Amino acid sequence: MPSVCFYFQVHQPKRLRNYHFFDIGKQHCYEDEELNRDILLKVAKKCYLPTNALMLELIKKHQGRFKIAYSISGTAIEQFKKHSPETLDSFKRLADTGCVEMLNETYYHSLSFLYSQEEFLAQIKMHRELIEREFGQKSISFRNTELIYNNDLGKLAESLGYRVVLAEGAEKVLGWRSANYIYHAEGTKDLKLLLRNYPFSDDIAFRFSNTNWSEHPLTAEKFSSWVHRIAGSGEIINLFIDYETFGEHQWEDKGIFQFLEVLPDKILMHNNFDFCTPCEAIERYPVRGTLNIPELYSWADIERDLTAWCGNKLQEDALKTIYALEKKVKSTGNDTLLKTWQSFLTSDHFYYMCTKWFSDGDVHKYFSPYESPYIAYINFQNAVKDFKLILG
């Protein structure tokens, strides 16, 4: 019986305000509270609240047969509490159904795995405690920021007690293999890997409203027929997408909510198919081989690499500058300074500095509050310079 594993990333960064050179040494407030509030409320109205309501309705309708999973960053939860507590409550209602798994990740949605194991472990601990406190779940499933993964991350995740990690099903990783099976992670005792079926995931996340796409319009009937073809040649179809796909990236008037509303019915019409969460998947299906992933991969852009965050000199310099402050920040014992520094680590700040203006350029521009990557870099470095003055 093949299963569909629906996983959604939920994240909101704390965007920086316009921080000018002449603010250095004078203004010590770095985040744009008004912009962050406005964006959060907009996305809550267009995506989080209506989609959560629909998910709850689908769970009730299908009496436990429809299951989903989320990872919600610490910065998103902080902003829900501050600006939209009803959004957090709606996620809690979903978690209470018993049909929703909450995964662990880095609290600040950071790239700390690449630059500081100490900070990486600290943020996982923070997030683990947050999810248990807010949703009452102790997760055995982990997903690193933007599905960044290699063998070393697998070993570290297993040492922390995780039994399954989510990763990108890139061809360079799989070779002749299929993403529609569970694999053992190279170098670990028993860690399982769930690999994103990126063609199917991207059909929903990116191509759904693309009128130039040969398969447009994408209906639930059409998509479910593709999924059903996996029968006999796969056991788990991992649909991992950004939650803001629903209503924010793909607008309501394009039919995305109607698609989602009907999809479970169409999938479940085939008696051999069902839905499961990551932790259920590894109990249900056997391992079908070992994957050796020495290089780093992510789910970003067509390259599935790390160039969205650390692929140019601007990003490299900004990352080097902020992580170089770790020892000094932590030596102060000042919790406010620590949280400020950790907020600077959020991966979005470096994503805004990406200079790839080719196949993925429009995606990067869509997410950025800046006119250009260069302005994003200057703004970030100005704020960090002031922060360094405070550190002394």
- Give strand pairing partners of 8: 70, 241
Q: Please give the pLDDT value at position 362.
A: 58
Structural domains of the chain ordered from first start: 3-291 (3.20.110.20), 313-391 (no CATH)
pLDDT tens across 177-212, in order?
999 999 999 999 999 999 999 999 999 999 999 999
Catalytic residue among 146, 244, 248, 326: 146
Question: How much is the pTM?
Answer: 0.96
Q: Please give the pLDDT value at position 167.
A: 98
Q: Please give the pLDDT value at position 366.
A: 63
* pLDDT grade for 44, boundaries at 50, 70 and 90: very high
Reference 137, options 91, 174, 194; nearest CA is 91
Q: Please give the pLDDT value at position 187.
A: 98
Q: Please give the pLDDT value at position 365.
A: 61
**Three-class DSSP category at 104:** strand
146 pLDDT above the threshold of 90: yes
Q: Please give the pLDDT value at position 368.
A: 85
361 pLDDT above the threshold of 50: no
- Is 119 labeled as catalytic in the residue annotation? no
Q: Please give the pLDDT value at position 131.
A: 99
Longest dimension (CA), the chain: 65
Q: Report residue 232 as tokens.
A: 């006999």
Give the rounded percent of residues in the chain with a pLDDT score beyond 90.
Answer: 94
Q: Please give the pLDDT value at position 360.
A: 46
Tell me the DSSP string of 5-74: EEEEEE----PBP---GGGTTT----B-HHHHHHHHHHHIIIIIHHHHHHHHHHHHHTTTS--EEEEE-H
Reference 41, options 89, 69, 79, 93; nearest CA is 79
- Give strand pairing partners of 20: none
277 pLDDT above the threshold of 60: yes
* pLDDT grade for 359, boundaries at 50, 70 and 90: very low
Average pLDDT for the chain: 96
